Amino acid sequence: MKKIKRALISVSDKKNLKPLLSLLKKFKIEIISSGGTYKEIKRLKYTCTEVSDYTGSPEILGGRVKTLHPKIHAGILNKRNDKSHYRDLINNNYDNIDLVIVNFYPFEETLKNTSNHKKIIENIDVGGPTMVRAAAKNYNDVAVITSSSQYEELMNELIKFNGSTSLDFRQKMSQIAFTETAYYDALISNYFNKITNNDFPEKKIIYGNLVERLRYGENPHQQSAIYSKNKALDITQLHGKQLSYNNYNDIFAALTISKSLPKNSGVAIIKHANPCGVSALKDPVECYKSALACDPVSAFGGIVSCNFKVNKKLALELQKLFLEVIIGNNFDAEALKILRKKKNLRLID
């Protein structure tokens, strides 16, 4: 167990701070903070030392340099059982920092809300990821928290161990922290690839958010999950049981084809990620029939993707064939009523 005596808090997301601050106060944990977080902690009427007072160095460069100071990073990075580290701390009048609570400037949200390059650049956090990486590296001695969603788990840990944290907890939070910094840097890297038109960089970073854990993978003995760059997929399930890995694989293949067809006039039929039929006609029923005629045998148990609204007339035609999934660019009420009679059929908008 490692007793928490001093915590550094620097967060962009200031939700749910009050219960955490109350518990830190209960365990007599000293708090260091900077900028807006310091002001928020003071507003909530809790004792806090501003980083500039703690280090003896003012914030400079318009706030770009706040926590990038040896007193902060030595306090985080020193190995508590290393005598030479202890000597360095004593000789420089530095203290341990046992808990780092940091979340980053909202770079991802900024990308979604503006194309202003200057604003985007100013929302690249430097000090936050630096502290998080330092704390995560030194998980033997330091606990790191990177999201307000982790506060409850931290509080339970502190209550359970009377103001201390276990090695298992610190190691778990270290793994999460390194994932967070990697994800954050991937967003930044991909942004710069985009603005420099570098579609094929020497190193390509693929990243995503967990959307759903699936029952099994391509085969029953395998595990699988769905990840997306967004926190949700751009599809909505309207009916049917949980989608499987193979369903998702076919859905994305079908959507890729149907979206490439002329708007409001395309149908793609997919089975095991292979096209069974594709058609582009204005009349929905004729378009579907034309696609089905390409290979009606293989289409059995497949997926139909329509890049137009599914109406009653088309629904009556679709129900004649056993299908795993029907994808539509919306469904009218009568079509849904017809197709929902098939219990195992999945409907995707």
Per the annotation, the verdict on 85 as an active-site residue is no
What is the C-alpha separation between 275 and 254, in angstroms, rounded?
Answer: 8
What is the C-alpha separation between 133 and 53, in angstroms, rounded?
Answer: 23
CB-based contact 203:191 (threshold 8 Å) = no
**Given the residues 272, 289, 309, 342, the one annotated as active site:** 272
What is the C-alpha separation between 122 and 169, in angstroms, rounded?
Answer: 33
Nearest to 279 by CA among 244, 249, 314: 314
Q: Are strands 266-271 and 225-228 parallel, antiparallel or unpaired?
A: unpaired
Strand partners for 209 = 228
- What are the distances in angstroms from CA 198 to CA 115, 201, 204, 229? 18, 6, 10, 19
Contacts within 8 Å (CB) and 24+ apart, 318-322 = 318/288, 321/292
**Tokens 């778990």 — which residue?**
172
Per the annotation, the verdict on 137 as an active-site residue is yes
Q: Which residues contact 340 (CB under 8 A, 6 or more apart)?
A: 239, 347
Amino acid at 28: K
What is the C-alpha separation between 51 and 66, in angstroms, rounded?
Answer: 7
Measured at the CA of 159, the angle between CA 154 and CA 164, to 5 degrees, comes to: 70
Q: What six digits make up the tokens of 36?
A: 């807006």
What is the C-alpha separation between 119 and 335, in angstroms, rounded?
Answer: 47
Nearest to 276 by CA among 262, 260, 257, 263: 257
Q: How many CB atoms lie within 10 A of CB 61?
A: 7
**Given the residues 14, 73, 137, 312, the one annotated as active site:** 137
What is the C-alpha separation between 281 and 276, in angstroms, rounded?
Answer: 17
Active site residues per annotation: 137, 272
